[in-house]
Structure 1
């Protein structure tokens, strides 16, 4: 039985570990907390992040990262985006040339504005890197509901290896060579999903959400093209696909956080209520800064940034978006 490991025991990392275990891999998950490892190994369930999903015998948890990565053909990095550099740093000098890193975090690094593949390459320049993204809630993947995801890498061989590892009757995996586009689609859709939640919290309807999602994918494409992505990627699983699932589901912590903000909660109260990392909040700040440096117009991102960091009332943010100067729909997309 081939060995793989998942670094991180959040809901998404757990769901992916379960999927790999069902595909007959020996799977080790790594956690920083020994008490969590002991609890999950004893109870055979991650009740903190993915209750109800029972662990099979070939899935175990350790707090020893060296034990987790030793002899693992695939190393899945399943931590929040702002922790990716730290985890990669822990792996320095410990990987062999055949091991493949699979990052599943969706975000941009705060401060540098770098994509996570760039972060990993800085810390582990000789590693094989694959990004896994797409419309996929952990809760549904764990229940084996039909799901499609996408993997991308500068190495087609690495991408295909990861594709084969995760493919199952309930999890269909595509490859896409546009690593920049796949990364940015996954990171930037969280901003729009946060905005969709704000609209829900304000009591707006389907028309509003459709407008936000449509103009949101335009913003994502505009910034993505400026950063080197291919526009067609944003019509696929890591673009429109991920946008739809994140903007419309209560599984989405970005949307749930936005709903609370729309209802008048403070950012501190919102994070306390959600209890997990809300990637869209950091992504808004980073994308706002990157767009400014590149001279890219992102009115939705700017409006959400105003709500989060400048005291702008959510209803006034919507009003400002609606009363902007008239535009041609397809101008300035980069097509």
Structure 2
């Protein structure tokens, strides 16, 4: 891992800006890199990103750039662009990243077309770099406002994870190091599917008891899925699984929850873009992979079919409630 402690955050959306803000406010040498030069200049002058984080002041210590060359001196680079843009970003930035640079994935998703984890994608495109992943329960606005937030950073070794956690944490933002990159990634991606299911429960007015049952049984199938991919099932009981699901499955700030509410209330996904709802894509991918691997995931299967329009909510609930009774 590079000895440089300079941090570059690539992607000036809400989450990237929030992460850059908290790292800079904690004394880090941080540059936030965005594609739109006008937005970057406005942030520099006003110390605000009104479109992404309205009303929130950014720290004086944070610097800004619209030039990707700004990543050259960084020892830690946060990839805060959407999950489906990570491969292309890696290809563009590869010539600028020194060997040993730590690249931290800050997106929750699975690559379209291949169904691969983002760590696999970036290790293919960025050989010789340390690929880590940051995930867990944290809304961008809460992080940027300095509200208490705890998340997980998973790396190849616990030593690397600890270095990254120390560099990126602050008084109100705490990162816990892990080595289970598979479990952390799948927890972050598939909790979005379960959050959609929570929304369906809410939209269909099926009650809080149904939501609680769904969360607990959903975590059980998520644990099976993680173990089926070589990860540690217990990881989903922590911040990157249960913690993240509680947040996105109960807060109306979550697009996945709101999408599910629309499905439960209207029975259709009309008016929503799948590109903006990571769980909509992840449901289909996870359901297909689970079928091939023989992993039992009834909730994920039901969500995928509801989104596809091949199953209605009432029938899905009936099927889930009449499954064979087995030991928990």
Using structure 2 for the length normalisation, give the TM-score.
Answer: 0.94
Equivalence for 2:282: 283
| Match for residue 33 of structure 2 among 30, 34, 45 | 30
User: CA–CA distance in 2 between the matches of 1:322 and 1:124?
Assistant: 46
Distance change (3 Å), C-alpha of 1:43 and 1:2: same
Instruction: Determine which of 238, 243, 246 is the counterpart of 2:245.
Output: 243
2: CA distance between counterparts of 1:243 and 1:26?
32
Match of 1:72 among 47, 58, 74: 74
Match of 2:159 in 1: 157
Q: Does 1:100 align with 2:92?
A: no
Cα separation, partners in 2 of 1:155 and 1:56, compared to 1, 3 Å: same
* CA apart distance, 1:233: 1.0
Paired residue secondary structure (2:249): helix
Residue 305 (structure 2) aligns with: 306
User: Partners in 2 of 1:268 and 1:249 — Cα distance?
Assistant: 22
Q: CA deviation at 1:183?
A: 1.1
Q: Is the 8 A contact 1:257 1:271 kept in 2?
A: no
Q: Secondary structure at the match of 2:96?
A: coil
1:91 is aligned, of 65, 90, 93, to: 93
Unaligned runs of 5+ in 1: 331-335
User: Which is further off, 312-321 or 12-21?
Assistant: 312-321
1:57 has 2:60 as partner: yes
Q: SS of the residue aligned with 1:58?
A: coil
1:142 corresponds to: 144
Partner SS for 1:263: helix
Alignment partner, residue 183 of structure 2? 181
> Structure 1 residues 119, 141: CA separation in 2 closer, same or farther (over 3 Å shift)?
same
Q: Does 1:14 align with 2:17?
A: yes
TM-score relative to the length of structure 1: 0.92
C-alpha displacement of 1:136: 1.2
- Ranges in structure 2 where 5+ consecutive residues have no aligned partner: none
Quick one: distance in 1 between partners of 2:269 and 2:309? 12
Deviation of 1:167 after TM superposition, in Å, equals 2.1
Tell me by how many angstroms 1:305 deviates.
0.8
The separation in 2 between residues aligned to 1:253 and 1:310, in whole angstroms, is 19
d(CA) in 1 for partners of 2:313, 2:61: 48
User: Is the 2:72–2:98 contact (alpha carbons within 8 Å) kept by the matching residues of 1?
Assistant: no
* Match for residue 43 of structure 1 among 41, 46, 62: 46
TM-superposition CA deviations, 1:270-326 (whole Å, max 9, x none)? 339xxx8221111112111211221211111111111111342223222222222x2
Extract structure 1 runs of 4+ deviating beyond 3 A. none
Larger mean CA deviation between 2-11 and 239-248 belongs to 2-11
Deviation at 1:169, TM superposition (A): 2.1
2:134 match: secondary structure: strand
2: CA distance, partners of 1:55 / 1:27: 12
Q: Which residue of 2 aligns with 1:333?
A: none
| Distance in 2 of aligned mates of 1:305 and 1:265 | 13
